[in-house]
């Protein structure tokens, strides 16, 4: 109950509460996204077309007018009243309509996302790229930009129709959502083109993620039975080693994407891109050995999928001196580790990883049995529970031992 001498404050209506929610929500949006939303909002409530910039300008005027009215009247003023005043004074108000909340949320989502895939759109990609690049520069962190496209999507559209092609695109978006970290961003930036922004991600980590995306996508698209070898190609550029400018990083990622296509699809050169991350469903059948055939007249192009050299741990035992079937990715310098469940040694450092196995360093290798259980914690991947078989043991630095292990069914 109001006390004597106090000004009674009217209770806000449902419409007022909704519009207050609108104000709060729009404060959290970037200016360009807010402008795009407000443009549709004013078109709906006033049947008028404004530019994004004009929409933002009128919104600022409405909020300012609301504050001025509240100061003058010494009471709360609804946003609806301020909006009616501003739009009517500008001869923009014709048919005032209050939108339903569900319609408001729909407009908000449409302003920021791609309708087919549900991923962020090109507009947000440009904004987020600028923000994340500035943050990476400010704090001296890595930022990886990845450009992906779908190989043979056009063939799917031609042979199976655009409805099937849309399913292929949607599956790509679903795969990205499943495999990326919560701190990463995925965007659809063109017809068959996608982009990833990976904060605090170095080149090796970015490549590992891309290989995992590709392997996961190829496994899932087989279920569509489209009889077209659709796959994912990618190009990676990383700040700061590849540049400090957005345009330079984008150009380099595009260049590496097409170098990969040329090297992997061109005549006389076969470079399968098996993903080490396939251990997520370990063990897998042994893949066909990698084949590299480079004609003499063709210069060796730069391929972003080639991993860094594995650390030199000295000669391997004779029993393991044969040519490696699987590419090995060094994890030196990362925080990769394995939790061992069948031994008193709780953790072991993971020093490298391949499609067929993993190498650990231990202080007491004799404590682990020939076959044991472990949970692998590797950058980019979620924790993976595996069964390992000891393949060899050899001396490593610091009095520790390197233990090579293969994945077991």
pLDDT digits (tens, 9 = 90+) for 194-248: 999 999 999 999 999 999 999 999 998 988 888 788 889 999 999 999 999 999 9
Residues sharing a CB contact under 8 Å with residue 393, sequence separation 6 or more, in sequence order: 365, 401, 402, 403, 404
What is the predicted pLDDT for the residue at 105? 56
Task: For 24, list phi and psi in degrees, rounded to 5.
Answer: -65, -40
Query: Read out DSSP for 286-316?
Result: PPPPP-----TTS-----TTPPPPPP---PP
Least confident interval from 267-271, 297-301, 325-329, 345-349: 267-271
Q: Which of these CATH numbers, 3.40.50.10800, 3.40.1350.10, 3.40.50.1580, 2.40.10.220, describes 324-407? A: 2.40.10.220
> What digits encode the pLDDT tens for the residues 70-112?
887 777 888 887 888 788 878 776 554 444 555 555 555 666 7
C-alpha closest to that of 359 among 330, 334, 339? 330
* More confident site: 232 or 279: 232
Report whether pLDDT(180) > 80: yes
Under 8 Å between Cβ of 238 and 203 = yes
Match 């509460």 to its residue by tokens.
17
In whole angstroms, give the CA distance from residue 370 to residue 230. 40
Cα–Cα distance, 173 to 160 (Å, whole number)? 20
Q: What is the pLDDT of residue 253?
A: 94
The DSSP symbol for 36 reads H
- Identify the pLDDT of residue 357: 85
Token readout for 105 is 């949320």
Domain spans of the chain? 14-112, 122-273, 324-407
Q: Output the pTM of the full model.
A: 0.45
Q: Given this chain, do its domains 122-273 and 324-407 carry the same CATH topology? A: no
**Helices (DSSP H) in 140-297: which residue ranges?**
153-160, 162-179, 203-221, 246-265
* pLDDT reported for residue 326: 53
Is pLDDT larger for residue 87 or for residue 21?
87
More confident residue, 355 or 6: 355
The neighbour count for residue 204, using CB atoms within 10 Å, is 20
| Interval 146-165 mean pLDDT | 90
pLDDT of residue 274 exceeding 60, the answer is: no
Average pLDDT, the chain: 77
Class of domain 122-273: alpha beta
Rounded CA-CA distance 168/286 in Å is 27
Contacts 24+ apart (CB under 8 A), 87-95: 87/42, 87/46, 87/58, 87/62, 90/58, 92/42, 92/46, 92/48, 92/58, 93/46, 94/46, 94/47, 94/48, 95/46, 95/47
């Amino acid at each position: 109950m109001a006390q004597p001498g106090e000004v009674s404050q009217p209770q806000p209506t449902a419409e007022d509460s909704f519009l207050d929610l609108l104000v709060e929500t729009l404060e959290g949006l970037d200016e360009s996204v807010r402008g795009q939303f407000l443009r549709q909002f004013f078109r709906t409530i006033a049947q008028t077309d404004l530019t994004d910039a004009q929409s933002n300008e009128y919104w600022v005027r409405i909020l300012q007018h609301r504050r001025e009215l509240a100061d003058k009247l010494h009471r709360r003023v609804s946003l609806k009243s301020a909006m009616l005043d501003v739009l009517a004074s500008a001869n923009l108000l014709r048919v005032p309509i209050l939108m339903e909340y569900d319609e408001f949320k729909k407009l908000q989502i449409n302003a920021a996302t791609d309708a087919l895939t549900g991923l962020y759109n090109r507009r947000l990609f440009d904004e987020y790229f600028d923000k994340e690049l500035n943050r990476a520069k400010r704090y001296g962190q890595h930022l990886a930009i990845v450009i992906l496209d779908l190989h043979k999507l056009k063939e799917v559209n031609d042979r199976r129709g655009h409805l099937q092609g849309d399913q292929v695109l949607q599956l790509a978006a679903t795969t990205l959502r499943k495999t990326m970290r919560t701190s990463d961003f995925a965007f659809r930036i063109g017809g068959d083109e996608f982009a990833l922004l990976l904060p605090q991600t170095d080149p090796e980590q970015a490549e590992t993620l891309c290989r995992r995306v590709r392997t996961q996508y190829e496994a899932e698209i087989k279920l569509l039975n489209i009889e077209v070898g659709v796959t994912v190609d990618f190009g990676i550029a990383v700040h700061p080693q590849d540049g400090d400018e957005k345009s330079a990083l984008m150009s380099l990622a595009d260049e590496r994407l097409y170098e990969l296509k040329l090297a992997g699809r061109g005549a006389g050169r076969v470079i399968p891109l098996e993903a080490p991350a396939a251990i997520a469903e370990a063990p897998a059948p042994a893949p066909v050995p990698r084949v590299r055939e480079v004609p003499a007249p063709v210069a060796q192009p730069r391929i972003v999928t080639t991993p860094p050299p594995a650390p030199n741990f000295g000669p391997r035992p004779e029993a393991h001196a044969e040519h490696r079937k699987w590419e090995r990715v060094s994890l030196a310098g990362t925080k990769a580790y394995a939790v061992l469940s069948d031994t008193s040694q709780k953790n072991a450092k993971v020093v490298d990883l391949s499609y067929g196995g993993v190498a650990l360093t231990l202080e007491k290798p004799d404590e682990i049995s020939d076959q044991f259980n472990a949970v692998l914690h590797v950058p980019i991947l979620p924790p993976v529970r595996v069964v390992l078989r000891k393949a060899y043991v050899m001396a490593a630095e610091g009095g520790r031992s390197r233990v090579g292990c293969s994945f077991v069914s």
